[in-house]
Amino acid sequence: MTELSATSHQGLEVHDIHKSFQLGSTTVEVLQGVSFVLGAAESLVLTGPSGSGKSTLLHIVGTLDKPSSGQIRIDGTNLASLTEKRLARFRNSTIGFVFQDSHLLPQYSVLENVLLPALAFPTRTGDSTAWGKELLDRVGLSHRLLHRPAELSGGERQRVAVARALINRPRLLLCDEPTGSLDAATANSIADLLFQLHGQEANILLVVTHSTELAQRFSRRLELREGRCTEL
C-alpha cells in the first residue's frame, strides 16, 4: 500500500499543473503550468473566458481528472501517491462538489439525496441523518425533507446540492458555476449561502464562475487565459 506523502502545509497546493489532449495529430495544451496555494479556511474565485481551462482545472483539483504533469496536495497529501481505491475514499471524505446543474437523483427525496455521499463509505462517526437534517435547516429547506427534486425550484435544488456537498464535512469545497443557471435574486441567495457555510465550516472554497457579481465577493481572484493563470 502506498504511503501518504505529507508536508506541514494545511490547505490546497496546486503546483505546475499541465493538461493536454490529443486531437488527431494535434496536441491541445489546455493548462500550461498553473500554480497557486490556498490556506486552510481561505477562499478563491477562478475566472476567465470560455475554453480557458477553468472547469478542467477544477476537475483535476477534485481528482475527477488527472493532470498530464504537476502535483496537487491537500493538507500535505500528494494525491498522485494514492491508489484508485484510496483516492475514491479520500475524494469522498475530503472534497465536496457543487456544479451548475444540481445533479440530484429524481427518485430520491431531498434528505436521501443529501445523505448519498455519506453512504458511499459509511465509516464516519456520528449520525449522518441528523447532520443532513441540520444542513437542510441551514439552507432553509427543513420543510422539504421528503419532497422529490421535481417538486423544488431551481434555487431550492441548488441549495440541496450545497447541503449534499457538505454532508461529509469536506476540507475542500469546489463549485463549478454554482449560480450560472439561476436568476439574479436566486444567484445572490446561493452566493450568500456559500459564504455563510464557508465561514461556519472553515473549509477551503474554490469557485469557478463567469459571474462578475459573484467574483467580486472574493478577496482572492485568479484569471485563466490560454492555459495560464494570473492573480488579480
DSSP letters spanning 88-149: HHHHHHHEEEE-SS----TTS-HHHHHHHHHHHSTT-SS-HHHHHHHHHHHTT-GGGTT--G
- How is residue 117 written as a grid cell? 455521499
Mean pLDDT (whole number) for 39-59: 93
Q: Which residues pair with 74 in a beta bridge?
A: 12, 77
Residue 124's pLDDT is 56
Residue 123's pLDDT is 58
Q: What is the mean pLDDT of the chain?
A: 91
Strand, helix or coil at 198? Answer: helix
Residue 5's pLDDT is 40
Instruction: Give the closest residue to 45 by CA, choosing from 228, 193, 187, 205.
Output: 205
Residue 3's pLDDT is 35
Residue 61's pLDDT is 96
Question: In one letter, which amino acid is 82?
Answer: L
- How is residue 135 written as a grid cell? 444542513
Residue 127's pLDDT is 87
pLDDT at 126 over 70: no
User: Which ranges in the chain belong to alpha helices (H)?
Assistant: 54-61, 84-94, 110-120, 128-138, 154-165, 184-201, 212-215
Containing 46, the helix (H) or strand (E) segment is strand 43-47
pLDDT band per the 50, 70, 90 thresholds, residue 224: very high
Mean pLDDT (whole number) for 124-131: 78
Question: Domain map of the chain by residue range?
Answer: 41-62+95-231
Instruction: Give the closest residue to 153 by CA, choosing from 166, 144, 162.
Output: 144
Mean pLDDT (whole number) for 54-62: 95
Residue 51's pLDDT is 86
CATH topology of domain 41-62+95-231: Rossmann fold (3.40.50)
Mean pLDDT (whole number) for 76-101: 93
Crossing angle of helices 184-201 and 128-138, rounded to 10°: 130
pLDDT at 4 over 80: no
pLDDT at 193 over 60: yes
Mean pLDDT (whole number) for 160-189: 93
pLDDT band per the 50, 70, 90 thresholds, residue 136: very high
Give the integer Cα–Cα distance in Å for 77 and 195: 26
